[in-house]
Amino acid sequence: MNIYFDNNATTSVALEVLEAMLPYLKEAYGNPSTAYSFGRKVRDSVERARGQVASLIGAKEEEIIFTSSGTESDNTAIMSALRFKNAGKHIVTTAVEHPAVLNLCKYLQTFGYTYTELPVDNAGMIDLDYMAQIIDANTAILSIMYANNETGVIFPIDKISRIASSKNVVLHTDAVQAVGKLPINVNDLGVQMLSISGHKLHAPKGVGALYVKKGTEFYPYIIGGHQENGRRAGTENVAAIVGLGKACDIAKTFLDSETLKVQHLRDRLEAGLLNKCSNTIVNGASSPRLSNTSNISFAYVDGEAILMMLDKEGIYASSGSACSSGSGQPSHVLRAMNIPQEYIRSSVRFSLSPYNSEEEVDALIGILPQLIERLRHISFLRGN
Ligand code: PLP
């Protein structure tokens, strides 16, 4: 039995996506920049994919730049804004961003930039009034994630964009966990830049996209050839781009029904575990959350021990984010939420996809409470 509950770390490539990609790994291997028909056909497929990505988020085709990842999209957005004419040297972000944003900000400090990490409350939410106070004449960009990868907490990007525009500051949102899970229209959101990653929505790893609103100043991050209209150099990863386009197409068609399905599974999982396990809390539960994400703390047990025992049963989940697990560091997101140490240490993130089933959720509910009891018993005997 293999049960995969770690879809915020990465997703399986959908079969339809794989099938759409295969010709570009086989016979259709032309370079999209070449002028002859063999290459032009490949170019057309890249442009079709651009249209599919644009369509999922209500953008125009020319507003989509393909990149190698969500990380590259985040880096590109921030680095571009810092080069705007008369740009300030201050970045405003949140304490719960992905390292793709936070570590870049930290790195930029060594070049004379400063940044503010907006704190979050116990429910994982930022204070918009405080955010408005923090933005000053030196602020070059606001980079605020759409949905958190560890807790699923959703930030009110539409409200944030109104504040940003009243202060005349460019707004970037890392929507890596939101695209394909929430209905998104960039015009309603009011952002100037938005990051997407393929492998979070059943496309392959190593492809992403950056939405840049028409009329927004833009400076490329990867310098070289003229690909992507001079906005991102490097020969296109055609098969992966085609895969991303197809995944966006599928997400657009099935978003509503799949969101309902996943939410039903997530609610069943939470109800089942909370009912059977004492001293258990769902982190971020009182905030708007992605329908697929459940970050649960089982007090007095080590989250890593839970994961190891689940692994033996063929069930895969994550403690904190996949990027920070293994680092031995307690989750920066839960710490920022001021979750008690005991609950941080014992947190497990379950992130579902439409490919999960009720049977899988029930299998978890059947196994995990006993494991928790056993671990608590061992920990009690050891006097921890
Ligand atoms: N931003 C968020 C919120 C993420 O969850 C991730 C990946 O976990 C990234 C950015 C980085 O995306 P990628 O893995 O495509 O570089």
Would you state the structure tokens that stand for residue 232, as one six-digit string?
């991102």
Consecutive H or E run containing 103: helix 99-109
Q: Report whether residue 70 contacts ligand 1, using a CB cutoff of 6 Å.
A: yes
Is the CB of residue 79 less than 8 Å from the CB of residue 217? no
Q: Report whether residue 98 contacts ligand 1, using a CB cutoff of 6 Å.
A: yes
Q: Nearest residue CA, atom 9 of ligand 1?
A: 70
Q: Report whether residue 69 contacts ligand 1, using a CB cutoff of 6 Å.
A: yes
Distance from Cα 198 to the centre of ligand 1, integer Å:
10
Q: Nearest residue CA, atom 8 of ligand 1?
A: 9
Q: Do 3-9+255-382 and 15-250 share a fold?
A: no
Q: Indicate which atom in ligand 1 lies nearest the CA of residue 145.
A: 3
Task: Determine the topology of domain 3-9+255-382 in CATH.
Answer: Aspartate Aminotransferase, domain 1 (3.90.1150)
- Give the pLDDT of the chain (384 residues) as one tens digit per residue: 799 999 999 999 999 999 999 999 999 999 999 999 999 999 999 999 999 999 999 999 999 999 999 999 999 999 999 999 999 999 999 999 999 999 999 999 999 999 999 999 999 999 999 999 999 999 999 999 999 999 999 999 999 999 999 999 999 999 999 999 999 999 999 999 999 999 999 999 999 999 999 999 999 999 999 999 999 999 999 999 999 999 999 999 999 999 999 999 999 999 999 999 999 999 999 999 999 999 999 999 999 999 999 999 999 999 864 445 556 678 999 999 999 999 999 999 999 999 999 999 999 999 999 999 999 988 777 776
Would you state the structure tokens that stand for residue 210, as one six-digit string?
């950056």
Which regions of 57-99 does DSSP assign to beta strands (E)? 64-67, 90-94
Q: How many CB atoms lie within 10 A of CB 298?
A: 25
Distance from Cα 100 to the centre of ligand 1, integer Å:
7
Q: Nearest residue CA, atom 12 of ligand 1?
A: 70
Distance from Cα 271 to the centre of ligand 1, integer Å:
28
DSSP letters for 118-139 = E-B-TTS-B-HHHHHHH--TTE
For the chain, which residues make up each domain, given as ranges? 3-9+255-382, 15-250
- pTM of the complete model: 0.97
CATH assignment of 15-250, among 3.90.1150.10, 3.40.30.10, 3.40.710.10, 3.40.640.10: 3.40.640.10
- Active site residue ranges: 323
Would you state the structure tokens that stand for residue 363, as one six-digit string?
């299998």
Give the CA radius of gyration of the chain: 21
Q: Report whether residue 198 contacts ligand 1, using a CB cutoff of 6 Å.
A: no
Distance from Cα 177 to the centre of ligand 1, integer Å:
8
